[in-house]
Structure 1
Amino acid sequence: MVTGARKRRDRRKFNRDLKIKAANGKSMNALKVFAEALRFLKDDALQTIDNITVVGEKFVPSDFTWVLSVPAIWDPSAKQFMREAATQAGIVTDMNQNGLVFTLHSEAALSYCMTLPADGFITRGLDKMDKSPGTQYAVVVAEDENIDINVHEVLEGGGLKELHRASYNDLGGQSVDRKFKEFMREIFSNGFWDEYENNYPSEVQRMLKDFSCLRKTDEDIEICCPFKLEKVAQKRQDIEEYFKRVQGASWDYGLIRISKQKLRSFFAQSLLGITHNLREINKYFNIGCILLVGSYAESKILRRHITDEFIDDCKVLCPFRSREAILKGAVTLGINPSIKLPKSAFTYGIGVSDRFDKLKHREDRKFTNKEGEWTGGLFIKLVEVDEEVSWNKTIEFIFYPIEADQTIMNFYFYRTQKKSPKYVTGEGVEEICCLFLNSPKTEGGRSREVKMTITFGCMEIRTTVKDLISESSTKFDFVWK
């Protein structure tokens, strides 16, 4: 439905064996890297809390609910990967998975901004955010790497319903940084900049970091020229000569001056792409307000452009300290997750077997055991794609073994973009997890009841399967949103 500058479609699966490569070319297990990063954050948070509480009172991870905010583009496998990393980091345990919840960046930011007074936003002279049922917000999560645009609607009672989500790369703050670096390459031409970058990569990174802070303004800027860049450049020619070939930049005793007009030009591609995608989304929804959040939203040039482009159509708001809106909103949702109404990104179901009926079932799905003829791989739907599911909704199923002496039962879970597939082998249906249940007491034969309880939580499905005779059970959580 939405077009624009390279809508992101990276759906690479995350798993325990995934490797990531460092800048020095060495690879390491990604799960280990993420687990240790989360462990550091956990330990630091607990230490900070201990430092401000009563002497002698120690807190442990299970004393808290931990919230991980994630971008809209993340595949469910990535979220499941993060849950495993959090478990290895000691944030939660296998027995206490409810202590970790996920939320989207846009949901978190909007939830926080809904609590702010009118003077909590950079734009002055406007009322505080409209909480009237039916009001639609386009939340632009503007970060350095990519731009997420999600549409949410306010419900009766103040809850939120997601209507649309999209993510675009090459439009965030890093695209502005890249344009700046291209300009440096234009100034220090004939391969000199590339040579400098290869020899002194840390200096280039420091220079880009300084620029990323300066691009928040809408004025002429001055960037300190690294000593090695100036020294090496001077060996070729007087450094002022480099700036005679370009427009919008000048040299001033160790400082590179960039004009406001040139700075704005670095934003052109990013602003064009964001505006285009917002206009496309606005065709399908009745947007009452555009909310800008994230680190890139701190840019005056970005805020002014979006305001000028859409002021005749809707409000444009940005909270003070916009990069903290997601963090503070995640806390809000961790305390009260029921304020949002999740919407399933897929149709989820389980595969089951049933007595074969030639009038209803395909012949190629038939198999035979000592109990008779069966059809396998029937898709039993749990939730449908785009279905709104209330917080902590629970459904139950009763299953029976297909053989009287069966001691192990397996339950395979699937997902698809189709609304009502009949078989798990259909096109576009993929397996996402499997549960195995031990059922050692076979005295009841095929009359043994196995109860499956499925609870829809904050972006996750919690599944428990219990043998009512043997009293054995197993459980599994997987991300569904």
Structure 2
Amino acid sequence: MASSLIEPIFSDEEDAAEYGFDMLREKREGPVVVAIDIGTTFSGYALSFSSDKYAIFAMKTTDPNRPRSGRQSTKVPTTLLLKPDCSFHSFGHQALVHYNRELDESEQKEWLYFERFKMKLHSQKKLTRQTPVSAANGRELPVGTIFAHALRHFRNTALAECKVYAGAELKDTDVQWVVTVPAIWDGGAKQTMREAAYAAGLASEMKPEAVQIALEPESASIYCKSLKRIGRSSEDAQYVCEAFMEGSTYLLADLGGGTADVTVHKVSSTGKMKERHRATGGAWGGTYVDQNFVKLLESIFTKDWIRSYRDENPGDWVDLMTVKFETSKRLASANSTMYVEFPHSFHDFVRESGSSIERCISSAKNPNLKFSRGSLAMKYAEVRKLFNSVLDNIVVHLKSVIKKVGGVNYIILVGGFATSQLLQTRIRDDFEKSLKLRVIIPPESSLAVVMGAVLFGHDPTQISSRCCRYSYGTDYIDTRSVKRDWKFQTYVKKNQEIGLNDKVTHTFRPLYAEQTKCKFGVYESDSENPVMINEPDVREVASFVLPMPDTRKGLDRKIFTTMLFGLTEIAVESLDETSGKQIGGNVQLDFLS
């Protein structure tokens, strides 16, 4: 719904400046920062104390699948298990093991097992608070509820670890929480994460500053910049240092399980990073290799057969894809055979249909496939087919961004998918050999986001400016037109560079003398110069209500509305000049209504 205000009286900040709007949320000075990174495939957290912020502790857990190995992992699978009454049971390895090994088939159909639910926030065009996510048994819950369970799990685990390190119980005010999100997410997805953080007890609407939203590629940039201080080193360490010298421009690609998140930064004279190109990317993560593998299985055993196996053996299907194939995918390298072990139930299911795995593979008449010791053996030519469509999309996009921006000196790859040897080989071939650009894979690249997010929590000003992904504005009535058209009042334009403290103020007045409140629509547009709110590329993305209780001056009232776009979330404040008081503190934009 459009607002009930006429056109702006003016479009500068001179009058509003005297009221001293400060849009930056109060920085908490707690002794510890805890960052939580919920990924499409794997998740984890890290923390550090303000007394030594570069001494970052990443979570460590033992994989129940290999308890005797003694090896600890710094991330766990993004798998959530809820009891039939929808109460929390477990997350990560514990959820995976309990669902696969402890529950029988009838119980698996009652319990709610969720995996890779993060992509719902990227793929859904219009999110609401009721946007559903399906469990393995088909039951649905709101996506925000799923994220709240995951965040609450990490909150409780991290607080227990903080207590060990600190030697004392920590109060809520002692912790600055940071939750990471892809930079290409829209406002609705970010708001879903913030509200999930409130539900999980990380913060509240009354104390929103307790949790910060950090953009994943920015966090990774901060990590790379701080490698020496963190104490990480690798063969590429020298080039990482060069990439963060004054004047250097680098492209950073955060390649995760679900998305490729790409940004370009230039290092300023102060050492801080300025965004040179708005965040871009797409659904080109490692899970799309998984989808190609499923299609390969369907070509061997038929689509209906695979669907039946998944329905009747949900636990073993999860084990096949999340454990067995995921491990083989990360280890796959050029010119080598890739092996994926079949679960025992897979063999039994094929036998019940009167055949065998070996016979089915042979019948497929694919010279690149064979059955070997209980596993599907794929020659490199077939493995490339699984990866090629995803890698092609990534390469084409990186080349497009580099051509558009110009002056890029380095490419930095981070994220879980960046650990793939096949991906690294392809990127080096296309950019180092052909375009003479240095490709850098920093040490512990899969932890770059969560460890950088910790440092972001200590100092959120390290990214000094950002480029807007869209044009943003509000609606107003143009009383000068005969039709009294609803127009787009621009606050920032697409691709416009916005600094941390940059703000835009517009002033409005009421349409009716007795008007006591007004609803504003917030709009985004792919155009740099939108005019009308009903244009095809204009979308209403949020709304907020401004109260105007004092009507004594009738139409002669001013409402100052200020928007700040330089943070990771859009912030809005409003002031009623008649009363001289700020109304409602920070106005909460609602992208989910």
- What is the rounded CA distance, in whole Å, between the counterparts of 1:190 and 1:473 in structure 2? 58
Match of 1:165 among 279, 283, 287: 279
Cα distance 1:164–1:390, how it changes in 2: closer, same or farther (>3 A)?
closer
The answer to whether the 8 Å contact 1:393/1:456 transfers is yes
- What is the rounded CA distance, in whole Å, between the counterparts of 2:397 and 2:246 in structure 1? 25
- What is the rounded CA distance, in whole Å, between the counterparts of 2:307 and 2:549 in structure 1? 68
Equivalent residues, number: 455
Q: Establish whether residue 227 from structure 1 lines up as the match of residue 332 from structure 2.
A: no
Q: 218-227 or 424-433: which moved more?
A: 424-433
Paired residue for 1:89?
200
| One-letter amino acid of the counterpart of residue 347, structure 1 | S
Match of 1:349 among 450, 473, 497: 473
Tell me by how many angstroms 1:164 deviates: 4.0
Cα distance 1:293–1:122, how it changes in 2: closer, same or farther (>3 A)?
farther
Provide the alpha-carbon RMSD of the alignment. 3.5
- What is the rounded CA distance, in whole Å, between the counterparts of 1:413 and 1:264 in structure 2? 45
Paired residue for 1:369?
none
- What is the rounded CA distance, in whole Å, between the counterparts of 2:590 and 2:437 in structure 1? 34
| One-letter amino acid of the counterpart of residue 383, structure 1 | V
- What is the rounded CA distance, in whole Å, between the counterparts of 1:121 and 1:40 in structure 2? 33
- What is the rounded CA distance, in whole Å, between the counterparts of 1:191 and 1:411 in structure 2? 50
Flag as ranges the 4+ runs of structure 1 deviating above 6 A.
none
Structure with larger RCO (C-alpha < 8 A, sep 6+):
2
SS at match of 1:458: coil
* TM-score of the pair, normalised by structure 1: 0.81
- What is the rounded CA distance, in whole Å, between the counterparts of 1:176 and 1:84 in structure 2? 32
Cα distance 1:40–1:407, how it changes in 2: closer, same or farther (>3 A)?
same
| One-letter amino acid of the counterpart of residue 443, structure 2 | F
The answer to whether the 8 Å contact 2:122/2:189 transfers is no
Tell me by how many angstroms 1:116 deviates: 2.1
Paired residue for 2:396?
276
Tell me by how many angstroms 1:97 deviates: 1.9
Q: Establish whether residue 317 from structure 1 lines up as the match of residue 440 from structure 2.
A: yes
Look at both structures and tell me which one has the larger radius of gyration over its CA atoms: 1
Tell me by how many angstroms 1:126 deviates: 4.5
Q: Establish whether residue 382 from structure 1 lines up as the match of residue 494 from structure 2.
A: no
Q: 467-476 or 76-85: which moved more?
A: 467-476
The answer to whether the 8 Å contact 1:155/1:161 transfers is no
The one-character-per-residue Cα deviations of 1:103-136 (angstroms, maximum 9, x if unpaired) are: 3222221221122249734657756342234432
- What is the rounded CA distance, in whole Å, between the counterparts of 1:246 and 1:283 in structure 2? 39
- What is the rounded CA distance, in whole Å, between the counterparts of 2:264 and 2:289 in structure 1? 25
The one-character-per-residue Cα deviations of 1:377-396 (angstroms, maximum 9, x if unpaired) are: 55443222222111133455
Q: 322-331 or 274-283: which moved more?
A: 274-283
Q: Establish whether residue 391 from structure 1 lines up as the match of residue 500 from structure 2.
A: yes
Q: 138-147 or 182-191: which moved more?
A: 182-191
The one-character-per-residue Cα deviations of 1:8-50 (angstroms, maximum 9, x if unpaired) are: 9956111223233333222223333333332333233223222
Paired residue for 2:26?
none
- Equivalence map 1:56-455=2 (5 Å): 57-60=169-172, 62-117=173-228, 120-121=233-234, 123=236, 126=239, 128-158=241-271, 159-169=273-283, 171-185=284-298, 188=301, 195-208=308-321, 209-217=323-331, 218=333, 219-233=336-350, 236=354, 240-242=358-360, 244=362, 245-260=365-380, 262-284=382-404, 285-312=406-433, 313-340=436-463, 341-352=465-476, 361-365=480-484, 377=486, 379-396=488-505, 399-422=508-531, 424=533, 428-447=537-556, 450-455=559-564
SS at match of 2:166: coil
Cα distance 1:172–1:447, how it changes in 2: closer, same or farther (>3 A)?
closer
SS at match of 1:268: helix
Q: 15-24 or 295-304: which moved more?
A: 15-24
SS at match of 1:33: helix
- What is the rounded CA distance, in whole Å, between the counterparts of 1:439 and 1:191 in structure 2? 61
The answer to whether the 8 Å contact 2:542/2:590 transfers is no
| One-letter amino acid of the counterpart of residue 33, structure 1 | I
Cα distance 1:259–1:451, how it changes in 2: closer, same or farther (>3 A)?
closer
Cα distance 1:306–1:119, how it changes in 2: closer, same or farther (>3 A)?
farther
SS at match of 2:244: coil
SS at match of 2:442: coil
Q: 188-197 or 286-295: which moved more?
A: 188-197
- What is the rounded CA distance, in whole Å, between the counterparts of 2:292 and 2:276 in structure 1? 34
- What is the rounded CA distance, in whole Å, between the counterparts of 1:164 and 1:225 in structure 2? 43
The answer to whether the 8 Å contact 1:142/1:297 transfers is yes
The answer to whether the 8 Å contact 1:224/1:254 transfers is yes
SS at match of 1:120: coil
Cα distance 1:199–1:311, how it changes in 2: closer, same or farther (>3 A)?
same
Q: 114-123 or 34-43: which moved more?
A: 114-123
SS at match of 2:409: strand
